[in-house]
Amino acid sequence: MSEKMAELKNDRFLRALLREPVDCTPVWMMRQAGRYLPEYRETRAQAGDFMSLCKNPKLACEVTLQPLERYDLDAAILFSDILTIPDAMGLGLYFEAGEGPRFKKILRTAEDVDALPVPDIKRDLDYVIAAVREIRSALAGRVPLIGFSGSPWTLATYMVEGGSSKDFRHIKEMMYARPEVMHALLGKLADAVTLYLNEQILAGAQAVQIFDTWGGALSGPMYREFSLAYMKRIVEGLIRENEGRRVPAILFTKNGGQWLESMADTGADALGLDWTTDIGEARRRVGDRVALQGNMDPSVLYAPAGRIRSEVAAILESFGPGNGHVFNLGHGIHQFVDPESAGVFVDAVHELSVAYHD
């Protein structure tokens, strides 16, 4: 075991992902460093805008650590954005107030896809890798660091639509009418994501998560062909051991609970669940093949403390005794949540889960 790993004071999260015994269920939150925290809003204002914050390793480190100063979380997650890869491919990522991410260049033709370069991660995304190193050093072994990327399908959706979409008109037209172009794009993205995550691992990320935000917009056959197949390819290409320890991989497809068995076939160590899937039923379906991460509705955090605790208790009871559960929200924490409510949530998970572990 390396000196770095020997310094890890809390490995509860990593152990749970590998279905190993823990003293209580570990917990972290998607978007745990974000707009619901006043200190985050102050740092973002200091940076000037969101992408300037992402591209400043010192400030990205600062906001990554902010929730750990408030809450007894079991993991930190790299502060970045899922669209850094398309930006590094020259599409010109920017953010419109109230409209979310947009791209200056949109992909619509085979020629557009052919001309798309696979980025040089060390050169084009050096700020992300620098942030990973900075955060890992600042954590000093306190908790593990999670790296992440968007899935190829999700990245492609933004790149073809030009931003968020309600009907996915352009990407579904490409998928159905010109599948060879779609596969060419997804192949390039899978290669880029694999390189990107491996560089994060080498820089110090101790687990990685692939966010498939829009996989749930597909039918079952299309999901398996155009989303899951490429996530499987990424998982197969990941560095799975570093610093003398396994580096767990988590797949999270929003609205993808109907495909858990197929997702478990990818070789990932854990599957993320949104709140539309009962975690106990998910556990019965996948058995001990993978760990499960999730899955409280983020809107529960608008409720009084007692209601938050009862929802935590219900999810723990549904999962039941034993190993392989990482508690999380079913998606990212909402920006209007009271930070005190997030604290109630985290503390409830630790307190109420002890009874489920030997």
Torsion of CA 265, 188, 272, 68, to 10 degrees: 140
Spatial separation of the C-alpha atoms in residues 119 and 88, rounded to whole Å: 6
Listed in sequence order, the residues at least 6 apart from 234 whose beta carbon sits closer than 8 Å to its beta carbon are 151, 152, 190, 193, 194, 197, 210
Q: Domain 3-356: which CATH class?
A: alpha beta
The answer to whether residue 240 is catalytic is no
Supply the pTM of this predicted model: 0.96
Contact yes or no for 245/14 (Cβ under 8 A): yes
In the chain, where the domains are located:
3-356
CA nearest to 253, candidates 210, 283, 192: 210
Number of H helices, E strands in the chain: 18, 11
Examine the residue annotation and report whether 44 is marked as an active-site residue of this protein.
Answer: yes
> What 8-state DSSP symbol labels residue 69?
H
Q: How far apart are CA 292 and CA 335, in angstroms?
A: 25
**32 annotated binding-site participant:** yes
36, 158, 196, 223: which one is catalytic? 158
Q: Is 258 annotated as a binding residue?
A: no
Instruction: Check whether 213 is labelled as a binding-site residue.
Output: yes
Q: What is the pLDDT along the chain (358 residues), one digit of tens a residue?
A: 344 444 799 999 999 999 999 999 999 999 999 999 999 999 999 999 999 999 999 999 999 999 999 999 999 999 999 999 999 999 998 887 766 888 999 999 999 999 999 999 999 999 999 999 999 999 999 999 999 999 999 999 999 999 888 899 999 999 999 999 999 999 999 999 999 999 999 999 999 999 999 999 999 999 999 999 999 999 999 999 999 999 999 999 999 999 999 999 999 999 999 999 999 999 999 999 999 999 999 999 999 999 999 999 999 999 999 999 999 999 999 999 999 999 999 999 999 999 999 8
Catalytic residue status for 233: no
How far, in Å, are 29, 91, 233, 298 from residue 291 at the CA level?
16, 36, 20, 21
Neighbours of 148 (CB within 10 A): 22
CA-to-CA distance for 144 and 8, rounded, in angstroms?
Answer: 7
